[in-house]
Amino acid sequence: MSSDEGSRSWRVLLAPRLWLAGAMGFASGLPLLLTITVLQAWLTTGGVDLTTIGFIGLVGLPYTLKFIWAPLLDRFKPFGLGRRRSWLFIFQGCLAASIALLGLQDPSSSVWAIVIASFLVTFFSASQDVVIDAYRRETLADAEQGLGATFVTYGYRIGMLVASAGGLILADTIGFQGVYLIMAAVMASMLIVTAVAPEPEPASGEPTTLKAAFLGPLLEFFQRHEVSSGAWLVLTFVLIFKLGDNIASHMTIPFYLQTGFSNTEVGTVAKAFGLAPLLFGLFLGGVLNLKLGLYRTLIVAGVLQGVSTAGFAVLALVGDDLWWLAAVIGFENLSGGMGTAALLAFMAHLTDRRFTAAQFAMLSALASVPRALLTAPSGWLATQMGWINFFVFAALIAIPGLLLLLSFQSWFPEHRPVASVIESGSS
């Protein structure tokens, strides 16, 4: 790559489309903890029993099941703002209204009303997420997808921080009802972002019937030339790429405590110190995708995820040492962030613009299975194998994913100069 092409590729970091992705990430992250952390605190102070609080967590199911209605968002254009912005206006308006409705309830007298309002918040929030993922895929070039995932995740975490930390702090001053009304107003302000955002260019052959919207994404994915002989292999890759990382992460808190670290040490190092490497890893994953291409980025991230997971086995040998704890956590979060950015870019690469919402929702649901289900036996494995063998096993799980990736090499486009890729993708 020439120096001119290199400087032009770096200038993409200032592109409005990436910062717009970050703003949409903020809109996506804001509602999430209003039905988890903040709601749990409100219910607890309102005297609701722990059993009820636990079951209310089921209102988050729309985040897992959003792929079911995602095809409708590819099929219909509710009004004249285009396929993506029309739905964003609807869901963001409904989100603001449902957050306000939730804030008007009283935990001590209307738990069922809180359940209904919370479910509305999660349903509209999950639906907004589907549209935001599709919008990012359709407005960014292939080479920018990793950075797009980085910007969205940064915005997402800021939104979560505003809702959770900001909400809990404000609750001591204005009460929880006031917090929810303020958050509803912040959510409503995101309509301004949607109003100024450009609508993605329409894709040729967008679905015009419900049959095409629901069956089209599946048929297209399995019949597409580049994946027709290995569609199940690529789905397996999406499923297992971060499996070892997820299995290890699921048991880290018990591991830290049993190794001899205190709750304060774990909270300070694992949670506070670990955030910066995670955010930098997300950024690095996006930059590598821009500079090296998606295939090489997936290889690098996959190898580093396996090596960083093995680092926990080293920590088990070393024992109670804060410097080792910080090093292992920092490396694991760095590689995990890189892997997340690369995997999101890969899932975007697999989608067809006609069915972006449906296909991305299905792939993201598949990618969440390791975190939601396949980590369930991790405690039993750690008990049977011991910490050292458990983390070595989790590290070795990275190998099958890397071997699958080698068989996909021909699926990735030949590397062109990054500047030309960006220009062709954003024109």
Boundaries of every domain in the chain? 3-202, 211-426
Q: What is the pLDDT confidence band of residue 271, given thresholds at 50, 70 and 90?
A: low
pLDDT tens, position by position, 387-426: 999 999 999 988 998 898 887 777 776 444 344 434 434 4
More confident residue, 409 or 172: 172
pLDDT at 286 over 80: yes
More confident residue, 70 or 56: 70
Average pLDDT score over the chain: 86
For range 100-127, the mean pLDDT:
93
Contacts of 208 (CB under 8 A, 6+ apart): 75
The tokens describing 385, both together, are 């194998």
Residue 239's pLDDT is what?
87
Looking at the chain, the whole-number percentage of residues with pLDDT higher than 90 is: 43
pLDDT tens, position by position, 356-378: 999 999 998 888 876 667 777 88
Instruction: Say which CATH topology domain 211-426 has.
Output: Growth Hormone; Chain: A; (1.20.1250)
More confident residue, 225 or 157: 157
Residue 10's pLDDT is what?
63
Residues 364/92/70/139 CA torsion (nearest 10 deg): -70
Same fold for the pair 3-202 and 211-426: yes
Instruction: Give 3-202's CATH code, choosing from 1.10.1840.10, 2.60.120.10, 1.20.1080.10, 1.20.1250.20.
Output: 1.20.1250.20
pLDDT tens, position by position, 290-333: 888 889 999 999 999 999 999 999 999 998 888 999 999 999 99
Q: What is the pLDDT confidence band of residue 120, given thresholds at 50, 70 and 90?
A: very high
The tokens describing 220, both together, are 């297209």
Residue 376's pLDDT is what?
74
